[in-house]
Amino acid sequence: MIASITRIKLKNPLKLFKFIAVAPKIMKQAAKSPGNLSYTGRYKRYLTFWTLTIWEDEKSMMNFVRSGLHLEVMKQTRYYSDDFSTASWIVERTPSWKDGEKILASKKSKAVPGTTCKAA
């Protein structure tokens, strides 16, 4: 399985309304995407949003990333944010948010205690 975590901090509150309008649609796209095993999102701190997704394999994940509304919004990342990070790694079990945060902070896809992680 492949886990993927993303963090986006919006540039300013004016971007919030457009972002909130599109985020649920992308969540639906992910949920319907072949190979998606899990999709969760959260809001943490001022204007900062996170996603944690689990995929059967890298191909399934990349098919989602490169298609539909997700692709269109990714092309506009600089409109929404100048602080965006993502990481993906191989897992044997569903990671916790804390696991994902550690991976994203390291940006090296190292093993997190309790998981088996390799760069995806």
Query: Distance between alpha carbon 40 and the CA centroid of its chain, in Å?
Result: 9
Whole-model pTM: value is 0.82
Q: Which residues fall within 8 angstroms of residue 99, CB to CB, at 6 or more apart? A: 3, 112, 114, 115
* pLDDT in the model for residue 10: 92
Tens digits of pLDDT across the chain (120 residues): 999 999 999 999 998 988 889 999 999 999 999 999 999 999 888 899 999 999 999 999 999 999 999 999 888 888 888 888 999 999 999 999 999 999 988 875 444 444 444 444
- Set out the domains of the chain in order of their start, with CATH numbers: 2-119 (3.30.70.100)
